Amino acid sequence: MKLISETKVFDGHQQRYEHASEVLDCTMRFSVFLPSQAENKSQKFPVLYWLSGLTCTDENFSQKAGAQRMASELGIALVIPDTSPRGDDVADDEGYDLGQGAGFYLNATQLPWKPHYRMYDYIVDELPQLVEANLPVTDRRAISGHSMGGHGALVIGMRNPGHYESISAFSPICNPISCPWGEKAFSAYLGADRQSWEEYDATVLLSRATEQQPILISQGEDDEFLEQQLKPNALETAAEAAGYPLKMEHHAGYDHSYYFIASFIEQHLRFHADYLLKP
Ligand SMILES: N[C@@H](CCC(=O)N[C@@H](CS)C(=O)NCC(=O)O)C(=O)O
Q: Does residue 40 have a pLDDT over 90? A: no
Of the pLDDT bands very low, low, confident and very high (cuts 50, 70, 90), residue 27 is very high
Residue 225 has pLDDT above 70, yes or no: yes
Q: Where are the beta strands (DSSP E) in the chain?
A: 2-9, 12-21, 26-34, 45-51, 77-81, 137-145, 167-170, 215-220, 247-251
The band of 216, judged by pLDDT with boundaries at 50, 70 and 90, is very high
Residue 129 CA to ligand 1 center (angstroms) comes to 29
Whole-number pLDDT of residue 39: 64
pLDDT at 47: 98
In this prediction, residue 176 has a pLDDT band, given cuts at 50, 70 and 90, of very high
Q: For position 275, what pLDDT does the model report?
A: 98
Residue 225 near ligand 1, beta carbon < 6 Å: no
pLDDT tens for 235-256 read 999 999 999 999 999 999 999 9
ipTM score for this prediction: 0.91
Which atom of ligand 1 is closest in space to residue 147's alpha carbon?
A: 10
CB 174 within 8 A of CB 232: yes
User: What pLDDT is stored for residue 38 in this prediction?
Assistant: 61
Pocket of ligand 1, candidates 31, 50, 56, 80: which has the most ligand atoms within 8 Å of its Cβ, to mutate?
A: 56
Q: What mean pLDDT is reported for the chain?
A: 97
Q: What is the CA(86)–ligand 1 centre distance, in A?
A: 18
Atom number in ligand 1 closest to CA 60: 17
Q: Is 233 left (phi over 0), alpha (psi -120 to 50) or beta?
A: alpha
Tell which one of 31, 50, 55, 98 to mutate to probe ligand 1, the residue whose CB is within 8 A of the most ligand atoms: 55
55 alpha carbon to ligand 1 midpoint, in Å?
6
Average pLDDT rounded to a whole number, residues 209-230: 97
How confident is the model over 73-101, as a mean pLDDT?
Answer: 98
Nearest to 160 by CA among 129, 205, 130: 205
Q: Ligand 1 pocket, 56 CB below 6 A?
A: yes
What does the pLDDT average to over 185-197?
98
Q: What is the Å distance from ligand 1's center to 53 Cα?
A: 7
Q: Which neighbouring-strand residues pair with 225? A: none
136-173 per-position pLDDT tens digit: 999 999 999 999 999 999 999 999 999 999 999 999 99
Residue 154 three-state SS: helix
Q: Report the pLDDT value the prediction gives residue 13, as an integer from 0 to 100.
A: 96
- Contact 51 CB / ligand 1 (< 6 Å): no
Please list the active-site residues. 147, 223, 256
Q: Is residue 208's pLDDT more than 90?
A: yes
What pLDDT, in 10s, does the model give residues 112-141?
999 999 999 999 999 999 999 999 999 999
The rounded distance, in Å, linking the Cα atoms of 78 and 48 is 5
Lowest-confidence segment of 57-61, 114-118, 187-191, 275-279 by average pLDDT: 275-279
pLDDT at 37: 75
Residue 279 pLDDT grade (very low, low, confident, very high; cuts 50, 70, 90)? confident
3-state secondary structure of 56: coil
Condensed to tens digits (0 to 9), the pLDDT of residues 92-113 reads 999 999 999 999 999 999 999 9
Q: Cα(128)–Cα(156) distance, rounded to whole angstroms? A: 13
Does residue 53's CB lie within 6 angstroms of at least one atom of ligand 1?
yes
